[in-house]
Amino acid sequence: MIDAVIFDLDGVLLDSESAWLAAKRAVSDEWGGTWKEEASRAMLGMSAPEWSAYMRDELSIERAAEEIDAEVVRLLLEGYHERLPLLPGAVEAVERLAARWPLGLASSSNLEVIEVVMDAGGFARHFETWVSSEEVAGGKPAPDVFLEAARRMQAHPGACAAIEDSHNGILAAHAAGMVVLALPNHEFPPGEEALAKAERVLASLDELTVAAVEEAGG
């Protein structure tokens, strides 16, 4: 039985992976880094402290990780203030599930970014809590951010459904002991190893219904 639902943000409610990567690439180029093609996939699911350190160390940007983090977020939010890249059906899916369960959010995005999206997207009233992986010890695929969201909601992880799109996100939610519904990311699709951990694989947010979550929860 499902007692709560925990959403990921990027790739589930927002079509934002390309925006994050564009901001990171721009900072790397502007600050003399050496971009690597594998960087895009390597940083998926990392927390802000993790990816900013990766950019400093692996992309040879001679700035403090905190400076890199702040500049990437600044560029990203410039774009969000012009247009929030909500995925089709995101608002409707949240409203459907919020009418049935308490909702939480467990995201790799910075808390500052999450709060902008919660406000601008009109989501804040539907969510009991939102957690950034910068607030916990390990980013995805570690389960920490999902476990913290469940803790704040006073929900047992095994009674939570998690909505995820990415390889590391699915692995993180599964490691937390949650029932996973996968919405495969169209830019960076999860591998078979991760998809095998999901109870349901959905084609779009239109398929994310109360019935689908209840069926996944058995």
Question: 45 with 107, same domain?
Answer: no
Q: Which pLDDT tens digits describe the chain residue by residue (218 residues)?
A: 999 999 999 999 999 988 999 999 999 999 999 999 999 989 988 999 999 999 999 999 999 999 999 999 999 999 999 999 999 999 999 999 999 999 999 999 999 999 999 999 999 999 999 999 999 999 999 999 999 999 999 999 999 999 999 999 999 999 999 999 999 998 889 999 999 999 999 999 999 999 999 999 98
- How many structural domains compose the chain? 2
Question: 89 with 144, same domain?
Answer: yes
pTM for the full predicted model: 0.93
CA angle 186, 142, 41 (to 5 degrees): 35
**Final residue belonging to a domain, choices 82, 102, 123:** 82
Question: 36 with 127, same domain?
Answer: no
Q: What CATH number has the domain bearing residue 95? A: 3.40.50.1000
Question: 91 with 51, same domain?
Answer: no
Question: 160 with 193, same domain?
Answer: yes
Question: 95 with 162, same domain?
Answer: yes
Question: 116 with 22, same domain?
Answer: no
In terms of residue numbers, what domain contains 38?
A: 17-82
Q: What CATH number has the domain bearing residue 21? A: 1.10.150
